[in-house]
Structure 1
Amino acid sequence: MPFAIYALGLMIFSMTTSEFMVAGMMASLSAEFGVSVAAIGYLISSYAAGMIVGGPLLTVGLLKVPRKQAFLALAVVFLAGQTLGALATSYEMMMVARVITGISSAATFGVSLAIGFTLVRPEALGRAASVVLGGLMVATAIGLPAAMVFDQYFGWRASFWAVVVLVLLSGVLGQFAIPSSPKPESVSIRGELAAFRNGNLWAAYATSMLIIGATFAAFSYFSPILTDLTGFGTSMVPLLLGIYGVATVIGNIVTGRLADQYMMPILAIGLVTLTGALVFFGLFAHSTIVAMIAVIVVGLAGVPMNPAMTTRITRVANTGSLVTTVHGSVISLGVVVGSSMGGLTIDAGYGLVSPLWVGALLATLGLLSLFPFSQGMGKGQRAKGEHAGICENKVVDCAEQ
């Protein structure tokens, strides 16, 4: 992988740390702004809502801008939002900051993947996606626990300022590592929009949304579940979430290597495993052993399906900025659906265990959503070679066909 791919991954790591760290400092933010834990959960949802609505609109506005320049401009917007969050003196001010960072983060995901895909051969798209999106996994393994430690020892604002520094560093590396972008006139807005007429693209989007929704219904409330239900001490939670993050990194490495050849098996097996882990956790949430096992399995099988999800998108559509940004927005919709439904069930009086059952339901729906696509692959998509050079689950250079 070119070094620029890793620079892109570092930016994704920085931004995703900002997105996730709220889940690890719910108590501090709740006390700071005088709101409930469920209300802090909505700060996660607001970030994702910014990604859903604003990300694609911002991407369309930047389609005529060279991708490298777009990447750097988005970093500046994110910095503004993150700084506002670090200075927030009210819940409403923090909500605005989360929306701004969410909007710029979504567009950055799409632009980063689009840049990464131009730097590798067709048969390495899955690996490139796994490195870029690997920043997301490392954020759960290192970024989130580090933010929690900063919160415990220096206050939650220190965590926000640390992300500001990371984004600045990522932008500097991107300036030097990312090669010059294509000329703006080489990008066709009409061509980008044409991809959305493909029904299989929307089917792939649906599966991605359900996978992430299932994962985040549980992950968004891991901290209170592990302390209030399972009985772990507050100081143990960063370690447990760090273990979860390490599991996501390991899972991402494995799926990144296999996604180009075994896309559908990864999605099917991953969803079955995710469903089982959440059901198991929901039934035995008071057991420390069960909780630890479930956290690890959710880490291995949830978010690490991202490379397979992204590979599926490139097979049924294209690798343009708008398609990948909308995919990021759909994934963020999953975050909104999962974390919001989890918060609503808690507020409705179903207890802290209820988000785990919400996640199990969404994972089951995600598994069911694969069946129409599997039938379509058998009847028609393989015959076409997926238009992206995919022939019988192997990636080849389309120019040779």
Structure 2
Amino acid sequence: MPLVVYILGLTIFSLTTSEFMVAGMMPSLTQAFGVSVTQIGTLISLYAIGMVVGGPLLTVGLLKLRVPNKKALLWLLGFYAIAQSVAASATSYEIMAIARVATGVAGSACFGVSLAICAEIVGMASRGRAASIVVGGLMLATVLGVPVATVIDQHWGWRASFWLVVALTVLCAVVITFMVPRAKASETISLGAELAEFKNRHLWAAYATSGLIIGATFAAFSYFAPILTEVTGFAASSIPWLLGIYGAANVVGNMVVGRYADRHTMPIMAWGLIVLGATLALFAVFAQSQALSLASLIVIGLVGVPMNPAMIARVMKTAHPGALVNTVHTSVINIGLGVGAWVGGLGIAAGYGVRSPLWVGVTLAILGLLSLLPYLGNSRRDTQAPAASR
């Protein structure tokens, strides 16, 4: 695996640390801007909105200008560093909010272009593994990046954490400048060619499965804390290390899936959804047991989010793995995350208790499995679909 793939993983690590680190420094930010905790939480949502809406639009603009992927990534990282610097220097909540939207837009486009570069520099048989390294940066951010940013906030202030992300972003840009090969003119994809990929119904089927997988996972994950404290009986002080175990399981699962995602794309997602749905159901029924709850937490961490490399490998087999195809996939995953968390909360609001999000997750996992059924009978169908649809 080329070293530059790991650099791209470090880039995603930096950007995703910025996305989530607000959660670890809420006391500092509420005091700095004189706003409520809810308003600080909204900063995470604003970043996500920028990713879902702005990322694809910005990518379309870069494609319209026919900017090669390497140059596009450097432009995006420069834009991200500037927006993050504005956030680090913010003196009001409004400035911080605008900066968060801007970083979300750039972050989403960076993710898509990074995956497109991976597809350019590694062989087709290694794309899933390369994607697992890039996605691994996202998972390491929750396990390592956010806690480190929180510690820095507690000792040197929240601005130091934001400036650290700026420094990492600039460092990655410098390394990418020298290590990523320049794309050949014939490899630069036009906007029209990329948009044509979206006529492929099999691509939309792949997107739908990805959204349902992430939706099923986050319908449950978003409410782990109240379930584990109110039903299972864990102390509130135990939640950080329980989530740390979950995050470590994500990293391990991602490494394993990344090894086999290219060769066994569809079976990984099919069996992953079966195990995910069964484990969520087991968790819902036996949530009062600490041992079974902890085991369920670990299994969900191993099979839920770590299906990402297989999801990405499927999309890359189904359509040309250009920047726009990958950026829209990133948006779909974020939509799945948001919708899953929202629908999971509806059950609690309707009075069905804090276990209800787990059953929502089971339902979404079943729908995800049903979306795969037309493709399970032919293991090459997802690979051959693009050619058949054009």
**Quick one: distance in 2 between partners of 1:156 and 1:360?**
38
The answer to whether the 8 Å contact 2:68/2:188 transfers is: no
**Quick one: distance in 2 between partners of 1:334 and 1:273?**
19
The answer to whether the 8 Å contact 2:132/2:255 transfers is: yes
The answer to whether the 8 Å contact 2:232/2:290 transfers is: yes
Q: CA deviation at 1:130?
A: 1.3
1:321–1:50: structure 2 CA closer, same or farther, 3 Å change rule? Answer: same
**Quick one: distance in 2 between partners of 1:272 and 1:284?**
18
SS across alignment from 1:50: helix
**Quick one: distance in 2 between partners of 1:228 and 1:152?**
29
**TM-score of the pair, normalised by structure 1:** 0.84
Residue of structure 2 aligned with 1:293, choices 278, 291, 295: 295
1:7–1:332: structure 2 CA closer, same or farther, 3 Å change rule? Answer: same
Q: CA deviation at 1:23?
A: 4.8
1:189–1:358: structure 2 CA closer, same or farther, 3 Å change rule? Answer: same
**Quick one: distance in 1 between partners of 2:272 and 2:296?**
14
Partner residue of 1:53?
A: 53
1:46–1:276: structure 2 CA closer, same or farther, 3 Å change rule? Answer: farther
SS across alignment from 2:262: coil
Partner residue of 1:10?
A: 10
SS across alignment from 2:182: coil
The answer to whether the 8 Å contact 1:151/1:158 transfers is: yes
Residue of structure 2 aligned with 1:123, choices 122, 125, 148: 125
Q: CA deviation at 1:340?
A: 3.3
Q: CA offsets per residue over residues 378-400 of structure 1, 9 Å max, x none?
A: 7x837x84568xxxxxxxxxxxx
1:315–1:203: structure 2 CA closer, same or farther, 3 Å change rule? Answer: same
The answer to whether the 8 Å contact 1:30/1:36 transfers is: yes
Q: CA offsets per residue over residues 49-97 of structure 1, 9 Å max, x none?
A: 2212111111111121121121111112222333444455666554433
Task: Give the superposed CA RMSD.
Answer: 3.2
1:54–1:138: structure 2 CA closer, same or farther, 3 Å change rule? Answer: same
Partner residue of 1:21?
A: 21
Partner residue of 1:251?
A: 253
SS across alignment from 2:263: coil
Q: CA deviation at 1:164?
A: 2.8
SS across alignment from 1:298: helix
**Quick one: distance in 1 between partners of 2:329 and 2:71?**
21
The answer to whether the 8 Å contact 1:7/1:174 transfers is: yes
Partner residue of 2:328?
A: 326
The answer to whether the 8 Å contact 1:140/1:241 transfers is: no
Matches within 5 A, 1:2-401: 2-24=2-24, 34-35=35-36, 42-63=42-63, 64-87=66-89, 93-150=95-152, 156-183=158-185, 186-223=188-225, 225-226=227-228, 230=232, 232=234, 236-343=238-345, 352-374=354-376, 377=378, 381=381, 385-386=384-385
**Quick one: distance in 1 between partners of 2:45 and 2:7?**
27
Q: CA offsets per residue over residues 364-383 of structure 1, 9 Å max, x none?
A: 221221113335x47x837x
1:346–1:40: structure 2 CA closer, same or farther, 3 Å change rule? Answer: farther
SS across alignment from 2:196: helix
The answer to whether the 8 Å contact 1:4/1:178 transfers is: yes
Q: CA deviation at 1:34?
A: 4.6
Q: CA deviation at 1:179?
A: 1.8
Q: CA deviation at 1:17?
A: 1.9
**TM-score of the pair, normalised by structure 2:** 0.86
Q: CA deviation at 1:327?
A: 0.9
**Quick one: distance in 2 between partners of 1:122 and 1:101?**
31
SS across alignment from 2:181: coil
Q: CA deviation at 1:249?
A: 1.5
**Quick one: distance in 2 between partners of 1:141 and 1:348?**
33
Which residue identity is paired with 2:79? V
**Quick one: distance in 2 between partners of 1:251 and 1:295?**
13
Which residue identity is paired with 1:20? F
**Quick one: distance in 2 between partners of 1:43 and 1:348?**
27
**Quick one: distance in 1 between partners of 2:284 and 2:29?**
26
1:88–1:268: structure 2 CA closer, same or farther, 3 Å change rule? Answer: farther
The answer to whether the 8 Å contact 2:125/2:263 transfers is: no
Of all paired residues, the percent bearing the same amino acid is 56
What runs of 5+ residues in structure 1 fail to find an aligned partner?
Answer: 389-401
SS across alignment from 1:133: helix
1:219–1:182: structure 2 CA closer, same or farther, 3 Å change rule? Answer: farther
Q: CA offsets per residue over residues 9-48 of structure 1, 9 Å max, x none?
A: 10111112222334555677678765465x6655444322
SS across alignment from 1:332: helix
**Quick one: distance in 1 between partners of 2:242 and 2:30?**
21
**Quick one: distance in 2 between partners of 1:82 and 1:349?**
41
1:343–1:48: structure 2 CA closer, same or farther, 3 Å change rule? Answer: farther
Q: CA deviation at 1:341?
A: 3.3
Q: CA offsets per residue over residues 232-251 of structure 1, 9 Å max, x none?
A: 55654443333222211211
The answer to whether the 8 Å contact 2:23/2:41 transfers is: yes
1:46–1:17: structure 2 CA closer, same or farther, 3 Å change rule? Answer: same
Aligned length, in residue pairs = 385
Which residue identity is paired with 1:21? M
Q: CA offsets per residue over residues 160-217 of structure 1, 9 Å max, x none?
A: 3433332232222222221223349932211111111000000000010111122223
The answer to whether the 8 Å contact 2:11/2:169 transfers is: yes
Partner residue of 1:398?
A: none
The answer to whether the 8 Å contact 1:138/1:249 transfers is: yes
**Quick one: distance in 2 between partners of 1:152 and 1:350?**
38
**Quick one: distance in 2 between partners of 1:33 and 1:78?**
26
Compare 128-137 and 16-25 and name the one that shifted more.
Answer: 16-25
1:365–1:287: structure 2 CA closer, same or farther, 3 Å change rule? Answer: same
